[in-house]
Amino acid sequence: MQNHQQQPWTAHLDLYGSPECDYHAQLTIGSTLMNLVLDTGSANTAVISDLCSSENCTFVQKPYLPIPDSYANFDTVNASYGNAKLRSYWKGYATGQLISFDHVQQAFARVDVITDHQSFFIPRCSKNQGIWGLAHPSLQTRPRKSNGHASNSEQQKLTLFDSIRREKGLPNAFTVQICPKSAVDPAFAHEFNFLGLNSTMRHAQLQQQQPSATEKTCLRDGHFWLGGYPSQSVGSEIVWVPLSHTRYYEVKVDHFVVNGNIVAGMEQINVPRTIIDTGTKDIVLTPLNLEKLLHALWHSKLVQFDDSVSKEHEKSFWFDHAQLSLPKKALTISHNVSVAIAFEGNNVVSLPIENILNIRDFGEQMPDWVNISWTGFTNSGGSGNMASTILGNTLFLGKTVIFDRGREEDGAHKMTSRIGFADASACCRTSSGKDVNILLSVDSVTKISIIHQDHVANTVQICLILLIALSGVGFFSTMAVFLMNGYQEKKNRAADAISFKGDEQHQIHLVK
């Protein structure tokens, strides 16, 4: 969104998905509309290509990005992901692509095309066709040329987000909003609310015989804004948490809190690090720290069972992660229980209790029974230099999370980098880049891009759009990529806008 008052450029994308499969935005890569998972724990942007033809790829939803016959001339690239329990990787080629979003805006950026993978795509999340890495450039893996040498292309060192920043004058911030669980899952919301009632109110509700809402009315699962955030998306005071390290979105957690009391016995929460990661389903803790948190939740009476449920079954529910099937009258959910995370500086962020419960009824055949289990936490099972604590989608549900990456001129961003947490508001409403009325980290990159419009770059991009449109993925598309890469390299060298560390490795193991 660019207006006549020379305001910084902003944009918006709807999000779709679930905590189990992460959340994706739809971007047009070249001429192919694709679903890219937002991942703040990595930096590569990569999509499945039509060269990925093994059984590992066939379950992924089509279309795949078509690659021209000249792909052998592209630089090779690969990336690994994982924690102590799960590992995945992909390999492919680094390419330059024209990215379109909001149906009208374009930017030219590096996009890696995946030709093979191991556990990167998973069958239950077949809609995910790629990943948009939103971490800092030092986490982006470096391509290699056919002779084995690392590529020195300046364009290839930029992430997609940073390429957009430099082309569009985007402020150095973005915001992820994930709708509340009860807003996007009406069947869960009905059971969660019903089980929070006392017996008298339950009886009164049953007497009304009103059909429960099971149709999803929210047409999206969240929002992604570039450049800042809309004030209408914030439903509470923003809790700002400073970043302790900017390579990852790394923070310091002081303690977890249940019903206003510090959870006792949790140790070394931040050893070696705690990160904020949209690419992780759960809140991940060490086995010891998870056990202490579950013990506190058990004693909080969040889930209360009547005498028909044995203490052994109750303990198994919490400590063996057992799913219990039982009559609704045998349990009550206490909506008064509170769970929170206290970050350094006593910055406390609440965790909605609906995010940590999984409740499903038996259907029409047994309407008075439910399946119930806890969800949203997992143990890291690891040691070494893996992140011992990962704050994943369990924390994002029902929140507007603002990633204020800091101004480039402020000491490598350390002075101004922070993450803001607020309750989500207006999540089911439509939005656009024009709604972003709170701009963050408007820095020299933003100002230069606004004041000194590069009309040559605009002309080049318009020509390339026409070339790609006319040629599909053939020779002219490849030539367009080559020309744009050359143009961008000359432009970046002339501006001398970016400096990179010379000891960057071609493959970085992403230890979330």
pLDDT above 90: percentage of residues in the chain: 67
The answer to which of 228-237, 434-443, 454-463 has the lowest mean pLDDT is: 454-463
3-state per-residue secondary structure call for 379-420: ECCCCCCCCCEEECHHHHECEEEEEECCCCCCCCCCCCCEEE
State both tokens at 18.
């679930």
Specify the higher pLDDT residue, 481 or 45.
45
395 in Cβ contact with 339 (< 8 Å): no
324-327 and 87-101 beta bridge pairing: unpaired
Give the relative orientation of helices 287-299 and 311-319 as an angle to the nearest 10 degrees: 140
* pLDDT 10s digits, 467-487: 444 444 443 444 444 445 444
- For residue 178, name the pLDDT band (cuts at 50, 70, 90): very high
31 in Cβ contact with 469 (< 8 Å): yes
Write phi, then psi, for 450 (nearest 5 degrees). -80, -45
Q: Tokens 């660019």 label which residue? A: 2
What's the CA gap between 37 and 132, in Å, rounded?
Answer: 6
Q: Measured between alpha carbons, how far is residue 487 from residues 154, 160, 162, 416 in Å?
A: 11, 17, 17, 32
Q: Can you tell me the mean pLDDT for 413-435? A: 91
What's the full length of the chain, in residues? 512
The answer to which of 13-17, 159-163, 478-482 has the lowest mean pLDDT is: 478-482
Query: How many angstroms from the chain centroid is the CA of residue 68?
Result: 30
Identify the pLDDT of residue 435: 97
Whether the upstream peptide bond of residue 230 has omega within 30° of 0, thus cis, is no
Q: How many CB atoms lie within 10 A of CB 494?
A: 8
What's the CA gap between 428 and 220, in Å, rounded?
Answer: 6
pLDDT of 489 above 50: no
Q: Which of 382, 337, 328, 379 is nearest to 355 (CA)?
A: 337
Identify the pLDDT of residue 36: 98
25 in Cβ contact with 221 (< 8 Å): no
Write phi, then psi, for 502 (nearest 5 degrees). -80, -15
Amino acid (one-letter) located at 30: G
Query: How many angstroms from the chain centroid is the CA of residue 246?
Result: 16
What's the CA gap between 301 and 303, in Å, rounded?
Answer: 5
Identify the pLDDT of residue 500: 27
Find the angle CA(172)-CA(175)-CA(180) to the nearest 5 degrees. Answer: 170
Q: Which structural domains are found in the chain, ordered by start? A: 11-175+446-506 (2.40.70.10), 180-217+236-423 (2.40.70.10)
State both tokens at 504.
């960057």
DSSP string, 18-59: ETTTEEEEEEEETTEEEEEEEETT---EEEEBTT--STTTTT
Identify the pLDDT of residue 212: 60
Q: Can you tell me the mean pLDDT for 128-150? A: 90
Q: Can you tell me the mean pLDDT for 151-167? A: 86
CB proximity list for 328: less than 8 A, separation 6 or greater: 194, 195, 202, 368, 369, 370
- In a 3-state reduction of DSSP, which class is residue 160? helix
Entry pTM: 0.86
- For residue 213, name the pLDDT band (cuts at 50, 70, 90): low
3-state per-residue secondary structure call for 260-303: CEECCCCCCCCCCCEEECCCCCCEEECHHHHHHHHHHHHHCCCE
Identify the pLDDT of residue 410: 66
Identify the pLDDT of residue 116: 96
Specify the higher pLDDT residue, 74 or 225.
225
- For residue 86, name the pLDDT band (cuts at 50, 70, 90): confident
Q: Measured between alpha carbons, how far is residue 153 from residues 71, 164, 492, 502 in Å?
A: 17, 17, 10, 13
**Dihedral angle sign, alpha carbons of residues 222, 228, 233, 238:** positive
